[in-house]
Amino acid sequence: MVKKGNEPPLIVTLRLNDEHQQFFNALRAAHFPAHANYLHAHITLFHHLPSDEPFIREQLLKFSHHTTISLQVCELRYLGNGVAYSLQSEELLRLHAKMQDAFLPWLNSKDQQVLWPHITVQNKSTAFKSQQLFEKLQEDFIPFEIKATGINTWLYLKGPWKMVETFPFEK
C-alpha cells in the first residue's frame, strides 16, 4: 500500500563517483532539451517512497553498510524520444531486491518491478534527434565500468528534485 500524505514523495538514487557523475552530467547538458534538464544524471532505485516515514531512512542507513558497487555500462538504448545507457550489476540487483523487501508496504507498482538500471542522457526530445544521438554515440561506444559510492535521497517537487540526504557506502 502506498501512503498518501501531503509530503512530497522520496526518490532514491545511486550516488556515482565524481568522475562518472561529471561524465554523464556533461552528456545530459549537451543533449537533453534545456527546458527539461533540471536534474543531474542519476540511476533511480525507487521513484515514490514516503518522505515522512522514519523506517525508510533507518533502512537506507543499514543498506549503506555496503562496499562500492561496480556497474558495467553495457549498451546504449534508443528510447523513442531519448537515449540511455543500460547498466548491469548482479550486486546492484541483489541489493535492490533486499531494499524492495524492506520497503514493500510502501512500493507502488513501478517500484515493485525488477530494476532496469540505466542513465538517461536525453529525453523529451524528438524521435529524429534521439535517433541521431543514438547513432552518434553508438559509433564510438565501448562498454566500460562505473562505480556507485552510495545512496542519495531526494524530494520530488513536481519537476525539480531537492536533495535530502546522502548515505555513503563503506569503501
Would 171 be classed as within a structural domain? no
The CA–CA distances, whole Å, from 48 to 84, 154, 156, 168 equal 21, 10, 8, 21
123: helix, coil or strand? coil
Q: Which helix (H) or strand (E) holds 171?
A: none
State the DSSP code for 66.
Answer: S
User: In this structure, which amino acid lies at residue 90?
Assistant: E
With residues binned 3-state (H G I as helix, E B as strand, rest as coil), the percentages for the chain, rounded to 5, are 35, 35, 30
Would 105 be classed as within a structural domain? yes
Would 3 be classed as within a structural domain? no
* pLDDT at residue 2, as a whole number: 46
Would 1 be classed as within a structural domain? no
What backbone torsions phi and psi does residue 67 show, to the nearest 5 degrees? -80, 165
- Long-range CB contacts for residues 20-27, cutoff 8 Å, separation at least 24: 20/146, 20/147, 24/85, 24/119, 24/121, 27/121, 27/122
Question: How many structural domains compose the chain?
Answer: 1
CATH number at residue 18: 3.90.1140.10
Domain that holds residue 25: 10-166
Would 77 be classed as within a structural domain? yes
Q: In whole angstroms, give the CA distance from residue 61 to residue 144.
A: 29
Would 4 be classed as within a structural domain? no
* pLDDT at residue 7, as a whole number: 87
145: helix, coil or strand? strand
Would 79 be classed as within a structural domain? yes
Would 18 be classed as within a structural domain? yes
pTM of the model: 0.92
Q: In whole angstroms, give the CA distance from residue 72 to residue 85.
A: 10
Q: In whole angstroms, give the CA distance from residue 63 to residue 157.
A: 25
pLDDT per residue rounded down to tens, the chain (171 residues): 444 557 899 999 999 999 999 999 999 999 988 888 888 999 999 999 999 999 999 999 999 999 999 999 999 999 999 999 999 999 999 999 999 999 999 999 999 999 999 999 999 999 999 999 999 999 999 999 999 999 999 999 988 899 999 999 987
Question: Which residue is associated with the grid cell 501531503?
Answer: 6
